[in-house]
Structures are given as structure tokens and as C-alpha cells.
Structure 1
Amino acid sequence: MSLALKLALAPLLVAQALATRRRAPVLPEAEGAREGRVGEGERLALLIVGDSSAAGVGVATQEEALAGHLTRTLASEAQCRVSWQLVARSGITTAQALELVRQVRPMPAEIAVAVLGVNDVIDQVSAARAVQQRAALADWLRQAAGVRHVVFAPLPPVHRFPLLPQPLRHVMGADARAHDEAVARWAATRDDVSHVPIEWQLGPEHMAPDGFHPGEPVYRAIGEALARHIAQRLITPETGS
């Protein structure tokens, strides 16, 4: 969408955004442990960092959320014992995620998974700036937490979120695609970062009751896809890491 058209639509978009925020139910983060171990075999330390989608907003427990599906599938696919920690907070941007991990000082990990981006779009962070902030996050995780590879989940297809009215849905969806494409291009320039494109269905039946956050089917699809990427591309059978 052109800048001129976005500017022309700005009053309507602002009104729609405010009305949507007022009527959207506020869902809690998923309950349950935010660290643990699953599986048998060689140990793999995994750190999960992110926003509401990492925190499991939209489902009741972490077992149903991204962390549960990701760690169980990874342990099975890689035949390893996954020691994991989740550092996430609903509503945060990529820049705020970096501040969060700096405060928490998470456990040392070999692999980190980052689930971020929708709040960058909501806060109108430019795609270029969001990539810079992801680079800063990846660099900090490598230097401070010993992470050797950071896996970035894709932004979701915001243009299919049931909660959002048109044309807000179209505009936010276009911005989300631009952000995701920028992250993919940047990740392709580094061997210590990857961006994992994921295709998943996103009808109302797959979403949380608020029509904005993932439901359990989406968390399962994302968690399994990320786990397969890690197991098949980032872990060698000989060493388990």
C-alpha cells in the first residue's frame, strides 16, 4: 500500500484501531511452568523469547501453547533431552524483548527461538528498524547467553485476523508481510540466524476467542514446524548439538 493512501486512510485506521482495542477481550497468558525438561538423550538447551504468542495467550496452559508443542516435538524429532526456558511477555515489541532478556538474564542455551513482530507492526515500527532490533536481540543472545543460533518465527498472516475490520486488516496485513520479508532477507545474510516460513490455516476456528491471538491448532502447527527446522537443520546426529 502506498504511503499516500495510508495517509489518506489514517483517520479511519486510527478510529478502527481504537474501537477494536476497546471491544477486544483481554486474554491472560497461559498458565504453567516456564521452564522444564522433556525427552531422553543428549541434552539440548533451548530458550524461547517473545510476546503474547510466545507466552501462550489464547490457550489455558503452556502444554497447549507454543512452548509445549515445540519442546515435545523437538525432543521426539531430535531424540534428545530438551532443557527449556520461556522468557515472554504479552504486548512487547522486539526492542522491549531485548530489554526483558537483559533484565531476566536467562539460562545459557544452545538454540533460541524468537516469536515477535506483531507489536512492532501495531506500534508502527518500520521494517528496517525492526530488523535492526532483531539483530541486536540475536547478538545479545549469542554474547550473553551463549546461543549459537537464533530461530525467528514468521509474522502471522495478520490480513486474516477475524478481529480486525477492513481496511485496518488489509493495512496491518501488508505491514506484517513487509516486516516478515525484511526479516527473511536479513536472516539469509547470517549463518547464526534463521527465519522459518510456516504455512498454516487461520480461520476463526483456529484462533483464540478474541479473534486476534492463536488457538491451540495454530500453536501446534508453529511449534511442530519450528521443532522440525531445529532438528533437521541445526542439530547434527553425531553430536546431538
Structure 2
Amino acid sequence: MLNFATRLALSPLLLAQGLSVRANAVRLPEAAGPRTGRLGSGPKLSLLILGDSSAAGVGVDHQNDALAGQLAVLLANHFTLDWQLVAKTGATTRTALQWLETHPPAPIDIVVTALGVNDVTHAVPYPLWLRQQNRMFARINTLFAPRRVYVSGVPPLGDFPILPQPLRWSLGTQARRFDAGLARLTEMSARLSHIPFNSPLVPSQMAQDGFHPGPEIYTLWAKEMASRILSDWPLDLET
């Protein structure tokens, strides 16, 4: 309640700071390169990455250096991998749901999601966001029947260099709340795995806009995701 009351009292300043950040922020493009492909050898594995600008690779020039490209290469060392990326700058959980509502059913082994930052910055109410995430997971299960969904944690917006105080504190507090709720939500299903952002956020590792990941962060993210997938996959084959 104290955080809510404080944010309410600061709301005129927070709004002004948010508008200023949006007006002055460096606009970086999504990473170039293919968003679907097949590579590797061995047992077949299919992968869908669904998300926002971070999933789209904003902050690096090419998908080879972004999450999708690096994760695909790591998994291709063990599988014949069919992968696809569906991501867009500005995407929220609601817009991801809209895409899923029009997608035809198709079997996919693994789904990776990366959503939440835009929900926080757009002030989506926390209970509504959790309901949307729950609906999204249900829709993913209906469409793709994946063996596992890996849910990327909400990044620590309180550490983003571009954000001034007290906006940084406000968004950081809400991001932590969203991520904690996401972790609890994923505990409700054995097919959902929450992958928190555990590495210290070093400003020099971020993109020049001070908001998106740089190459090093994408590498850490891909390695952590690949490690979780590879450790889980033999268990999944037995179920």
C-alpha cells in the first residue's frame, strides 16, 4: 500500500518523466536476419519464441547475436531444430494474445516467451496482466501442446540507465511485482518454467539506448535458456 500511495502522490512527476523518456529515447531497429529456419542434426525439436522488442533483437544488428539466433545455434548442437521467432517492438501480453487467437494449431515442442516490460511501462494493472498471462499460456497449450513453456522473467527496470528517478524506482518496483507474480503463476503447471533475470545488470552491457540488451546480455540469456532446455528435455521424453 505504501508503494501505491507513493506512486499516486508522485504520479504527475512520473508521467512527465515517462513522456520525456519516450520523446528523447534513441530508437533502435529490430535485428535483421531470418526469423525462421532449420539447422543441426539429431532428434527433431521445434521451437517458437514469442515476445517483444527484446525477443526481436533490438540492441544488436543481426539475429545471429540476438536471443533467437544464439539459442538456435546452441540447441542445434544436439537436435535437428526447426525454429521460428514471432516478436515485435512494443508487444504486450494483450497483443501476443491477439496473434495467438488467429494462429492455426500446430505441434511445437518448446515455446519461449519474453513479455512484460511493455505491460509495466504501459501501466497495465497487475491483476489484469496476470489474467492475460494465464490466458496466453492456456492458448499456447491449446494451439501447440508444447512439452514445456519457458517464461522469461521480467527484467529489472529499476536498473535501466535511461530511466531517471523516481521513475526508475516506480517501474522497478512494479517490474519486481510482475516477475514475482509470474513465478507464482508458472508454479501452477509442471509444463511452465520461469527463467528469472538473475545476472547483475551492468549498464555497459546494455544497448546504446539504455533500455535494451546488448550482445553480452543476449548471450547470457541464450545460454541460460539453452541450459534449462537441455537439462529438461530428457525428462520430458519420459512423460
Q: What is the TM-score when the length of structure 2 is the normalising length? A: 0.94
Where do residues 29-40 of structure 1 align in structure 2 (5 Å cutoff)? 29-40=30-41
Describe the SS at the equivalent of 2:58.
coil
- Counterpart for residue 22 of structure 2: 21
| Mapped contact 2:106–2:143 kept (Cα < 8 A) | no
Aligned pairs for 1:86-125 within 5 A: 86-105=85-104, 108-125=107-124
How many angstroms does 1:205 deviate by? 1.4
Residue 141 (str. 1) matches residue 140 (str. 2) = yes
Q: Distance in 1 between matches of 2:18 and 2:142?
A: 38
What's the C-alpha RMSD, in Å, of the aligned pairs? 1.8
Q: 1:50 touches 1:116 (CA, 8 Å); kept in 2?
A: yes
The residue that corresponds to 1:82 in the other structure is 81
Question: 2: CA distance between counterparts of 1:115 and 1:106?
Answer: 21
Q: Secondary structure at the match of 2:63?
A: coil
Q: Is the 8 A contact 1:38 1:82 kept in 2?
A: yes
Instruction: For residue 239 of structure 1, report the CA deviation from its aligned partner.
Output: 4.5
Check 1:8–1:80 CA distance in 2 against 1; reply closer, same or farther (3 A cut): same
C-alpha distance 42-69 of structure 1, shift in aligned 2 (>3 A):
same
Kindly provide the CA deviation profile for residues 5-41 of structure 1, in whole angstroms up to 9, marking residues without a partner as x: 1111000000000000111011111111000122210
Gaps of 5+ in 1: none
Instruction: Provide the secondary structure at the position in 2 that maps to 1:202.
Output: coil
Paired residue for 1:72? 73
Aligned residues: 238
Q: Which runs of 5+ in 2 are unaligned?
A: none
TM-score for the superposition, normalised by structure 1: 0.93
Query: Structure 1 CA distance, aligned partners of 2:86 and 2:80?
Result: 20
- Distance in 1 (alpha carbons) for counterparts of 2:236 and 2:192: 22
Q: 1:236 aligns with which of 225, 234, 237?
A: 234
For 1:116 and 1:6, how far apart are their aligned partners in 2? 23
Identity %: 42
